[in-house]
Amino acid sequence: MAKISRRTFGALGLGAATAALSGRGAFAQSGGASFMSFTFAEEPNKPFIDKLIADFKASSGIAVEPIGTAWGDAQKNIVLRQRSKTLPDTAQLQDRWVPAMATLPEIVDLTPVLGAATLGAIDPGASSLGKVDGKQVAIPLISGSVGFVANKEVLAKAGVEKLPVTLDEFRAALVAVRDKVPNSVPYTMATKNPGAVPLDALLIFWAHNARMIDESGKVLVNSPEGRAAMAFMAGLMKDRLIAPEFDRPDSRRLFGQGGSAFYVDAPQARTFARNFSGRGEAMDVNVIPMKTPILKAGDTPKSVEWGHTVAMFKNANAIGPDTPASKWMKYLLSDAVQTTLPLALGGLPVTTAGRNAPVVANDAYLKAWGATVVQAMKHEVGVWSNGPELSSILTEEIQACILGQKTADAATASMQTRMEASMAKRG
């Protein structure tokens, strides 16, 4: 995992650094457990975590202390807490962060702690989430994929009657939205934040039949297909079809407010659209899961594997099957949680019982989302232990390309060289 420099520490800001380094005080010794969560820090989703914690306390008598952290700061804050010896008992992790977090000596192997029966409840379709080299270092919480969503209402205003299938059709739809929907950003592609940009870039690369890093760790970005993908993204910016300085929260907000026709997200897109539109479930009709546009007929639409996981860390509290933290993690895999929380957040349950529950099987939106997942692929950048550094390299070169600071060919070549150096340093 990439080291955090003093510059990066400073960029966290006083508030984030203080939160990361603060102790957990008397609560840690009072028989409860702490839970660091980026979902708790998301205003639309905070009530779900509040209820989850309240229900757990009502059923077990155990209090859980939630610690909010912005999604983009979560990894940094965990590393800072590791250095200051103030790690939480448990923490929510994006699935692709798990390999990097698994290098921390404080992370707990969950198999002897939670037991085979608890882990055996996890559905085979979600079993790879939280595993590194065969070791269960996190449990999956919700699962799904990352792909495109379309705003039916915005497309109707632009006169676009059907979802685009090819990249040419996608671009034509973007032009129509730009010309007919005032003050819109047709595609709110993530153009800042190394935590978000790689997802959008991966989908565009794969749509051009390009790869970034293969399973063996070989960097493949500087190919004819990779250069074409970079040129495609630069063209979107040149023609005002995307905009600079967009992060995923910005995309969600503008999409929900009717100012964007397309963006990339996990199934939780529906939840965000409900909240940011102010229309609740009435907004659902406009949130349409869409297959990733393809280069030509016969190509396979690809999406990114996605999920949230929860890890346990060694700290001043005891580790064992009957500790508050262990009971909390077992509760997260219970039927009570797996038939409610994943749906509330817009994802799929991770247990077999949860996935077979009628409330899940009869959800039309999740069915539609599932139909768009033709081939889900692992995140080719974030799965490596040096993923944060690779993500920063990718983001910097894409920004230079779309802002016209480098040609597509030059940016792609530089990305190749810098990524190769990072992978070589990794060993």
Give the domain CATH number at 15. 3.40.190.10
The residue among 151, 187, 162 whose CA lies nearest residue 288 is 151
> How many domains does the structure of the chain reveal?
2
| Same domain, residue pair 296 and 401 | yes
The amino acid at residue 236 is L
Is the model's pLDDT at 7 over the cut of 50?
no
End position of a domain, from candidates 356, 374, 392: 374
Instruction: Between 27 and 4, name the one with better pLDDT.
Output: 27
Note the pLDDT of residue 26.
37
In a domain, 1, yes or no: no
pTM for the full predicted model: 0.77
Note the pLDDT of residue 395.
98
Note the pLDDT of residue 21.
42
pLDDT-derived band at 2, boundaries 50, 70, 90: very low
| Same domain, residue pair 99 and 242 | no
Note the pLDDT of residue 30.
54
| Same domain, residue pair 175 and 212 | yes
Note the pLDDT of residue 251.
97
| Same domain, residue pair 282 and 350 | no
Note the pLDDT of residue 427.
64
Note the pLDDT of residue 80.
95
| Same domain, residue pair 320 and 387 | no
End position of a domain, from candidates 374, 400, 418: 374
End position of a domain, from candidates 374, 391, 415: 374
DSSP 5: P
- Which domain range does residue 183 map to? 145-304+379-426
Give the mean pLDDT of 170-182: 98
Give the mean pLDDT of 132-152: 94
In a domain, 45, yes or no: yes
CA 34 from centre of chain:
22
Note the pLDDT of residue 25.
38
From start to end of 63-153, where are the E strands?
64-68, 90-94, 131-132, 135-136, 139-151
The predicted-structure confidence for 235-249, as pLDDT tens digits, reads as follows: 999 999 999 999 999
Q: For residues 310 and 138, is the Cβ–Cβ distance under 8 A?
A: yes
The predicted-structure confidence for 259-301, as pLDDT tens digits, reads as follows: 999 999 999 899 999 999 999 999 999 999 999 999 999 999 9
Within 10 angstroms of residue 6's Cβ, the number of other Cβ atoms is 7
| Same domain, residue pair 196 and 268 | yes
Question: What integer best gives the mean pLDDT of the chain?
Answer: 91
Is the model's pLDDT at 73 over the cut of 50?
yes
The predicted-structure confidence for 307-359, as pLDDT tens digits, reads as follows: 999 999 999 888 999 999 999 999 999 999 999 998 888 888 999 999 889 98
Judged by DSSP in three states, 34 sits in strand
In a domain, 275, yes or no: yes
Q: For residues 297 and 87, is the Cβ–Cβ distance under 8 A?
A: no
pLDDT-derived band at 206, boundaries 50, 70, 90: very high
| Same domain, residue pair 227 and 292 | yes
